Structure 1
Amino acid sequence: MTRISLLDLVPVREGDSVATAFANAADLAAYAEQLGYHRYWVAEHHGMPGIASAATAVVLAHIGHATSSIRIGAGGIMLPNHAPLLIAEQFGTLEALFPGRIDLGLGRAPGSDQRVAQAIRRNLSGGADQFPRDVMELQAYFADDDRQSVQATPGAGADIPIWILGSSLYGAQLAAALGLPYAFASHFAPAALDEAIAIYRRDFRPSAKLKYPYVMAGYNVFAADTVEQAQLIATSMQQAFVRLRTGNPGKLQPPVPGYYEELPMQAQAMLADVLSVSSIGTQVDVERDIAAFLRRTQVDELILTGQIFDPAARKHSFAIAMAAAKQAIAQQAGASRETA
């Protein structure tokens, strides 16, 4: 049965504060738990005025105290920014605070530019070649491997699922080689989705952590009671992508009626590409779109996201999305029984 999870970028709204963004995130996580979402993830970003999840482990501690059962985790930690020992200690601490609820997704992109990387004081010269080594070093800290010269305290012996994240074929290949679950960032970089999933499933090697391949995919949802309302709330995220691609990132902007239609054709084409794995509409529309995506990808889990300016509209959107996803999954299960 396909699981449904939620990715929150902890958006900082125009005219609002970081403190309010954290309060909204905790409120959303608690609501997602009530709705039956399986996981709530936040992602590491730096130097982004509109995203408040830079100190990812600290944000997750805040979320953990606002919830009681939903899995919480990083989707993800950008490992090139960190020494593996520090991540083992941070997530070992989270696991001790919230046992059995912590996930750790790892990405190889820095989640920033060179200026931020220098400010973080990490040497990125190792590039892609260093990422697999860092992942395995992190696994060794959690396993309390006595070949490590230092013990991670907390962290040693922690049973924390590690995921490999990606938006290209590289992550699929690494996750398959290490026998780890794989999450594809199709919510903003969908181009290689189908090929990456095929490579991961084809090349997957069972490990002590995972016997069979397990795929999660990102999916944007902007749902409302009418199509017009859904199209309006989607414009905040559309503005965010246009501003990011034109070198002018900022706080999340209020929705603008007719925003997409008034954009130049080049910007419309960019948004159509970046947000092609999305659904904008009512519950009926979202159910149809998610069902089609599940038929196409056969993913084990969908992680829904959607930056929406009004917190109440965002919660309503995720409530509609969960109801639609349940119907789509039931439809998929029914079709499978008919063909069995």
Structure 2
Amino acid sequence: MSIDTEQKQLHTIKFSVLDLAPITVGSTITDSFKNTVDLAQHVEKWGYNRYWLAEHHNIPSVASSATSVVIGHVAANTTHIRVGSGGIMLPNHAPLVIAEQFGTLESLFPGRIDLGLGRAPGTDQLTAHALRRGQRSDGHDFPEQLAELRAYFNPASTSARRHVRAFPGEGLNIPIWLLGSSGFSAQLAAQLGLPFSFASHFSPNHTMQALELYRRYFKPSEVLQKPYAMLGINVIAAETDEEAKLLATSLQQQFLNLIRNKEEPLQPPVENLDGLMSEHEKAALQQQLGGSIIGSPKTIKEKLQAFLNDTQADEFMVTSQIFDHKARLRSYEIIKDIVKF
């Protein structure tokens, strides 16, 4: 894939936010939702483009499991920022239910709702079974589920299911994004001419391959005339590189706990994380979080620009799992000051 590395600068692309509504040690889930609203209100004021909530289940550090409910709460407490899902894990749900939920959200907050869709469970296999019950969907029928969902929004659909209609939902123009951490959704988004969001924040080694597939096979549609790629990325910014590296140990501990099948809320930073890990765990952590951008404003600006040079993304979606809420706000504020949007 040939990319013009001089084509884009940070101030020419959009920046958005991905929030997992982190549950921290010593806090309550109510506190998490208060922090989510506070962050959404700040980033709206600072000029961020959209605010997405992620669907995860059975994870004690993530409060956004009832994703559409939290989306409605955030949208009700902001005024103009786009709010959506990053994403709804479609195999966990009946497409009709998602059409009705997001039809309701779009009817309540016209022109502000995004529907990002993924095909992973967003959890472990036992929890996936508890969610899916008799559906027996493991993600392989995701294209068929997606087609069914899109048909509920389209009044002109000739689907065999047209005797079942979504109210609210039918006739509403809700942007649908495909999310992915590999090449599957990249190719499907390209085939359907849909916008694509890649999870570089936990699958950095597959970013370039997914972008190449998406751009190579993209077919223009009524939705998009040319590819539109948004990349999720971990960014942890502070006044100094040292402070940012310390803050980042909360995110690193979160992934370390996932590797160890250890269920805990988001942990406070620690001074010497390396001393708490085996070499195997360090390698696993590097594989998942190696694309994270951590540092002072100068470091963040240089690394973000380098990542943009490599990817030529149309939008960055920043996620910042930082233990202290004020430090988390400050991280997003630093990005705003760097980009000057």
Shared fold (TM-score, shorter chain, > 0.5): yes
How far is the alpha carbon of 1:280 from its aligned partner?
1.1
Task: Verify: 1:236 aligned to 2:250, yes or no.
Answer: yes
SS state at 2:140 partner: helix
Matched residue type, 2:180? G
Where does residue 162 of structure 1 map in the other structure?
176
Of 151, 154, 174, the match for 2:188 = 174
Shift in Å at residue 114 of structure 1?
2.3
Instruction: Please state how far the C-alpha of 1:115 moved relative to its aligned partner.
Output: 1.6
Q: Which residue identity is paired with 1:318?
A: Y
Once residues 262 and 282 of structure 2 are traced to their aligned partners in structure 1, the CA distance between those partners, rounded to angstroms, is: 17
Residues 109-124 of structure 1 aligned to structure 2 (within 5 Å): 109-123=120-134
Q: Structure 2: how far apart are the matches of 1:325 and 1:44?
A: 28
Partners in 1 of 2:225 and 2:133 — Cα distance? 35
| AA partner of residue 171 (structure 2) | G
Q: Distance in 2 between matches of 1:23 and 1:145?
A: 41
Runs of 4 or more, structure 1, over 3 Å off, are 121-129
- The letter of the residue matching 1:109 is A
- Between the aligned partners of 1:93 and 1:202, the Cα distance in structure 2 is 35
Cα offset for 1:129?
3.4
1:101 to 112, 115, 118: 112
Cα RMSD after superposing both structures = 1.4
Q: Supply the AA of the counterpart residue of 2:307.
A: F
Contact 2:93 2:132 (C-alpha < 8 Å) held by counterparts: no
Partner residue in 1 for 2:142: 131
Q: Which residue identity does 1:249 align to in structure 2?
A: E
User: 1:239, 1:210 → 2: CA distance?
Assistant: 39
Contact 2:113-2:175 within 8 A present in 1 as well:
yes
Which segment drifts farther, 267-276 or 181-190? 267-276
Task: Give 2:302's aligned amino acid.
Answer: R
1:91 aligns with 2:102: yes
The count of aligned residue pairs is 327
Deviates more, 1:259-268 or 1:221-230: 259-268
| Pair 1:194 & 2:208 matched | yes
Q: Conserved in 2, the CA contact under 8 Å of 1:240 and 1:252?
A: yes
Q: Distance in 1 between matches of 2:300 and 2:340?
A: 11
Q: Secondary structure in 2 aligned to 1:46?
A: coil
Contact 2:91 2:139 in 1 (8 A): no
Which residue in 2 is equivalent to 1:334?
A: none
Distance in 2 of aligned mates of 1:145 and 1:253 = 50
Q: For the residues of structure 2 that align with 1:252 and 1:299, how far apart are their CA atoms?
A: 30
- The letter for the 2-side match of 1:240 is Q
Maintained 8 Å contact 2:230/2:313: yes
Provide the secondary structure at the position in 1 that maps to 2:115: strand
Q: Which residue of 1 aligns with 2:7?
A: none
Please state how far the C-alpha of 1:209 moved relative to its aligned partner.
0.8
Q: Secondary structure at the match of 1:217?
A: strand
Post-superposition offset of 1:326: 4.2
Q: Tell me the CA shift for residue 202 of structure 1.
A: 0.6
Give the TM-score taking structure 1 as reference length. 0.93
Q: Post-superposition shift, 1:261?
A: 5.2
Map 1:36-115 → 2, pairs under 5 A = 36-115=47-126
Deviates more, 1:261-270 or 1:158-167: 261-270
Segment of structure 1 superposing worse, 197-206 or 135-144: 135-144
Contact residue 290 and residue 325 of structure 1 kept, 8 A: no
- Shift in alpha-carbon separation, 1:129–1:272, aligned structure 2, 3 A: closer
| 3-state SS, counterpart of residue 255 of structure 2 | helix
Q: Aligned-pair distance for 1:263?
A: 2.8
CA displacement at 1:15 relative to structure 2: 1.1
For the residue of structure 2 that corresponds to 1:53, the secondary structure is coil
* CA-CA distance at 1:265 after TM superposition: 2.4
Q: CA shift at 1:112, angstroms?
A: 1.6
Per-residue CA deviation, residues 168-206 of structure 1 (Å, 9 max, x unaligned), is 010111000111000000101112110110110010011
Name structure 1 gaps, 5 residues minimum.
Answer: 328-340
Which is further off, 316-325 or 23-32?
316-325
Residues 1:19 and 2:30 aligned together: yes
1:134 Cα deviation from its structure 2 partner: 0.8
Aligned residue for 2:262, secondary structure, equals: coil
1:262: how far off? 4.6
Q: Distance in 1 between matches of 2:156 and 2:171?
A: 9
Q: Which runs of 5+ in 2 are unaligned?
A: 1-11
Distance between the aligned counterparts of 2:251 and 2:257, measured in 1? 10
Give 1:203's aligned residue. 217
**Pick from 302, 306, 310: which aligns with 1:288?**
302
Q: CA separation of 1:205/1:67 partners in 2, compared to 1, >3 Å: closer, same or farther?
A: same
CA distance in 2, matches of 1:142, 1:45: 25
1:315-340 alpha-carbon deviations (Å, 9 max, x no partner): 0011112222449xxxxxxxxxxxxx
Q: CA shift at 1:13, angstroms?
A: 0.6
Q: By how many angstroms is 1:250 displaced?
A: 1.6
Contact 1:240–1:249 (8 Å) recurs in 2: no
CA contact (8 A) 1:238 1:260 kept: no
Write the letter of the residue equivalent to 1:63. V
Q: 1:123 to 1:205 in 2, by over 3 A?
A: farther
CA distance in 2, matches of 1:221, 1:260: 20
- Following TM superposition, by how much is the alpha carbon of 1:232 offset from its aligned partner in structure 2, in angstroms? 1.0
Displacement of 1:123 after TM fit?
4.3
Identity %, equivalent residues: 50
TM-score normalised to structure 2 length:
0.93
